[in-house]
Structure 1
Amino acid sequence: MNLASWVERHGRDLRDRPAIAVGDRTHATWAEFAATVAAVATGFREQLGLEPGDRVAIVMANRPEYLEAMYGAWRAGLVAVPVNARLHRDEIAYILEHSGTRAVITDEAHAGDVESLVSQVDRVETSVRVPGPQWDELTGMAPSAQVDRAPDDAAWLFYTSGTTGRPKGATLTHRNLLMASLSYFADIDPVSSRDSVLLAAPLSHGAGLYGLPHVARGAVSVFPTESTLDGAELVSLLTRWPGMSFFAAPIMVRRLAGDPSVVGADLSGLKTIVYGGAPMYLTDLEDALTTFGPRLAQIYGQGETPMTITGLSKADHADRAHPRWHERLQSVGFPRTDVEVRVVDADDREVPAGEVGEVLVRGDVVMSGYWNQPDETAETLRGGWLHTGDMGSFDDDGYLTLRDRSKDLIISGGLNIYPREVEEALLTHPGVQAVAVVGRQDPDWGEAVVAFVVVDGDQPPTEELDRACLDRIARFKRPKEYHFVESLPTNNYGKVLKRELRSRLAEDVAGQR
């Protein structure tokens, strides 16, 4: 089993049909895409000396070569490590070192960081810049036979932050990704070779995963011409590439729903918007339904079970006559076809409908484990179930509603931010004695990062605190607000009570209304 078989098959059966497009222009037909993937696979093995099972990282913005590199890696029997291109250099370095990456594919915007790491990170032997002469050499190689892979061989290391703030590599196998793709057909949408998928969100996360079922069925993968998709380009692309679906964080859905170019436009070419990764507020969802009509589907998932736990279907969104329609819109839907989902208490005993507990998942889509982290794997997969760390409850009809996110995860603009890594960055400032980071509700970003700081001596300028963060973590993780306090609330064991800090923020917001 090798996911690259999809590309090889369509290279024969759909030779002259478009496979990849940029804006309204065809970048490659299926025959051309298949030929490039085959050449890159040969280049990885013969030019770069990589062997089956080796890891290849991809650190670049969305562009056609991203897909060519990823499917080329799979054809060569390698493991792809897609890295969030917005991460700080040090965060990228950690992922490369932890994964044991040997080669990195990057672009002009990220080449400076990546190339400086080649001599510093163990095992990283080379980087290939796209575009560039070395990439041209890879794509010019003669094709060789596809490497067979077993269903449980690793295909994608999906790096997601853990409770310590250090990323963990969820090991996704060829079987995992195949099951996630089949589940898409079962629960979200059928896909045909006449359809298209718009790759506007980062390919290192949800957009990459939801691009898979469209490649599997021979649909065209479309890249917007600009890094930020606007309403005018969306409407234009719908005319050129009908049957279009795309994955988006709620903030992106909200922005497009209010874009004057979209409101009232001909959206007949739009098939489905799959949203997830952060809470969607009810008013925003109703506005989006008004603009887009019954074309929205919600998913709830994690990197550990690639975006496949529950789903709220397009039919659920459209069922306004249902007496609990609003309640269902605030849920994350019904368990997906390929998984079992339970809600349990602290002893992993299933709780009745209406009672809150931790969400557990089991199925062939669940990761094989965390890369080189056996203790964390055993803890998260204990008893044969993925322990998500998310708290939720089922209703009597089997719809799951998330009540709280454990581990204090902050989701801002659809991106995960763990407080610990922000706190550690701030604690490097000599004037910071203690710090606690929490999220507060934000109408534009879903949540905003807020830091409560106890100082040692004079209060440092916020610019210095910003610099402590920017020197160590990605810009989007930097706090939007600083609150200077005399002490942090703690329990009898000395643990900071972040719930109290969030309550303070909520009271402040309420007092301003």
Structure 2
Amino acid sequence: MFPSLIAMADGDQITAAQVLWDAARRHPDRPCLTDLDDAVGATTSTYAQLVERVAAVAGGLLGLGLEPGDRVALLLHNSHAYVQAYLGATAGGLVAVPLNVRLTPADYLHMLTDSGSRVLVTTSEFSDRLPDPSRLPGLTIVYADARDDADCGLTALAARAEPLARPVARADGDPASLMYTSGTTGSPKAVVLSHRSWLRIAETAVRVLGLGDDEVTLHVAPLTHGAGFLLLPTLLLGGHSLLCHSYDAGRALRLLTEHGVTGMFMVPSMIRMLLDARPPDWTVPASLRRLYYAGSPIDPETMREATEVFAGRLIQSFAQMESPMFFTVLDQKDHLHALGNLDSPLVRSAGRVLPGVELRIVDDAGATLPDGAAGEIVARAPQTMNGYWGRPADTARTMAGGWLHTGDIGYLDGDGYLYIVDRKKDMIVTGGSNVYAREVEDVLVDLPGVKDAAVIGLPHRIWGEAVTAVLVSANDSRDSDAVLAACRTRLAGYRVPKRVVWVESLPRNAYGKVLKRQLREQFSGSG
């Protein structure tokens, strides 16, 4: 049984770094972290070695003059450097700001400015995507891949300072991280997750996913997103985390067998790729206990095929970054039921509400709706955010009445299963990443050959939804290639439309609003 975080706490003070320190005390010589893609080959740190390195990184960050509560941004692939910098910031009482590695200089400029980050830890790989340093005069950039003697390097920074003997104590409600999520106007908001949020997520993951004390967790999705929420529970149990810098489905299948992997996190598009990459003679290894997925709806065909191929070892959860990762869970028994009953509605369910979570379906006036009636999903859970960083009005709106308003439309059936039918927010979920239509439309309507634009998500076998641009031409040129080329210079890759459709005009209602449901119905069957 894993140690209770409440029992470990000193009063109300407990952090992820303290979890690491405690695990190292119990299991100093266990393998803790293996970077499978390190430049010198796969490298492994024991728990004792990781604590030593994290303590040095924390001392180095504080040696720069940072104080508890200051923000440290991380622009790194899954790696030893990411984990050391993340936990080093936590150990120093600092606030980690993980950044998506797929964004643009404009995105990073906004996030670094908005968060007020004083340090950015990154690698030279991202140098050409960083904003002009003159626009961030108070920012110190530390390179994790710099030579050991380079003043700007993470190694030299850690070597110059006195390592911390123990993590800086923080109250459980203090901010631990700022996690950026897309904004409806193209200006991402930072979700403030407290130490309490992270630890509640870890305890829930252990309980709901059935984690044990010999876990081997494979991280093929970014630690800056969903995969990162499995790192802490693996540390809590003294388990072994395997890190991949990027996702390759064929390689992931091999790693499952070669390393005795017990579990991993994926988004549905990654599962589809796994299935497509599977050799004819591949069988699920006995060591694999669960394939946990979340982030977007799963295609029913993919769900059934994956349930069969992975011998029923699938678990799905639903929540959002404002309250990760667990409101509801569709467990392994539910998956097997859906596989064995072709008419089962569970193939489209997000699962049952977890104990400790309150979830309601409400109408526009906030009144609770009966079973079967669709309305906005609102919830209260122990892991819910403190709020949006520096955005009290947005926080008040999202947390109105003490409930997190998800912006998702769904209903509960008579057995307590949640079904998500639409989104109140104009958002597309592609490959587990959120794309708000407005941010793409703003780019499209600025192009010389485009008179009007609407962006919708259409069903896609791999991505879940494909970002699709429905355009009205300004000059009858209808040059789709030019449109996509222009988008690639101004948008992160996953936000670039995968398809362009030209129409004579966009359908609108009496108030001038584009009828996107009509567009989705019109084009969902055409390829």
The TM-score with structure 1 as length reference comes to 0.94
Contact 1:426–1:469 under 8 Å retained in 2:
yes
Q: Per-residue deviation at 1:210?
A: 2.2
**Alpha-carbon distance between aligned partners in 2 of 1:241 and 1:113, rounded to the nearest angstrom:** 37
Q: Which residue of 2 aligns with 1:75?
A: 91
Question: What is the aligned-residue RMSD (CA, Å)?
Answer: 2.0
Q: Which residue of 2 aligns with 1:284?
A: 302
**Alpha-carbon distance between aligned partners in 1 of 2:315 and 2:280, rounded to the nearest angstrom:** 19
Q: Does 1:6 align with 2:24?
A: no
Q: Per-residue deviation at 1:266?
A: 5.0
Q: Which residue of 1 aligns with 2:5?
A: none
Residues 453-462 or 466-475, more deviating = 453-462
Q: CA offsets per residue over residues 401-449 of structure 1, 9 Å max, x none? A: 1011222211112211111111111122123222111011111221111
Q: CA offsets per residue over residues 455-504 of structure 1, 9 Å max, x none? A: 32242522332233222210221112222223211111111111111111
Q: Does 1:168 align with 2:194?
A: no
Q: Which residue of 2 aligns with 1:267?
A: 285
Q: Secondary structure at the match of 2:289?
A: strand
Q: Which residue of 1 aligns with 2:175?
A: 154
Residues 141-150 or 361-370, more deviating = 141-150
Q: Which residue of 1 aligns with 2:125?
A: 109
Q: Which residue of 2 aligns with 1:120?
A: 135
Q: Per-residue deviation at 1:223?
A: 1.3
| Structure 1 residue ranges without an equivalent (≥5) | none
Pairing 1:38-437 to 2, within 5 Å after superposition: 38-46=55-63, 48-114=64-130, 116-121=131-136, 123-132=138-147, 133=150, 134-140=153-159, 141-144=161-164, 145-192=166-213, 194-224=214-244, 227-242=246-261, 244-261=262-279, 264-319=282-337, 326-437=344-455
Q: CA offsets per residue over residues 217-275 of structure 1, 9 Å max, x none? A: 22111013x62233345334434344x21110111112212333485335112121111
Residues 455-464 or 387-396, more deviating = 455-464
**Alpha-carbon distance between aligned partners in 1 of 2:143 and 2:95, rounded to the nearest angstrom:** 16
Equivalent residue letter for 2:269 = I
Sequence identity percentage: 37
Contact 2:455–2:469 under 8 Å retained in 1:
yes
**Alpha-carbon distance between aligned partners in 2 of 1:110 and 1:263, rounded to the nearest angstrom:** 40
Residues 15-24 or 324-333, more deviating = 324-333
Kindly tell me the number of residue pairs found equivalent between the two proteins. 504
Q: Secondary structure at the match of 1:471?
A: helix
Equivalent residue letter for 1:12 = R
**Alpha-carbon distance between aligned partners in 2 of 1:195 and 1:177, rounded to the nearest angstrom:** 19
Residues 484-493 or 455-464, more deviating = 455-464
Residues 452-461 or 88-97, more deviating = 452-461
**Alpha-carbon distance between aligned partners in 2 of 1:413 and 1:482, rounded to the nearest angstrom:** 19
Detail structure 1 runs of 4+ shifted over 6 Å in the superposition. Answer: 321-325
> Structure 1 residues 63 and 424, CA, compared in 2 at 3 Å: closer, same or farther?
same
Q: Does 1:31 align with 2:40?
A: no
**Alpha-carbon distance between aligned partners in 2 of 1:236 and 1:113, rounded to the nearest angstrom:** 31
**Alpha-carbon distance between aligned partners in 2 of 1:457 and 1:25, rounded to the nearest angstrom:** 55
Contact 2:378–2:404 under 8 Å retained in 1:
yes
Equivalent residue letter for 2:27 = L
Q: CA offsets per residue over residues 254-302 of structure 1, 9 Å max, x none? A: 2212333485335112121111111111111111111111211001110
**Alpha-carbon distance between aligned partners in 1 of 2:497 and 2:389, rounded to the nearest angstrom:** 30
**Alpha-carbon distance between aligned partners in 2 of 1:268 and 1:148, rounded to the nearest angstrom:** 41
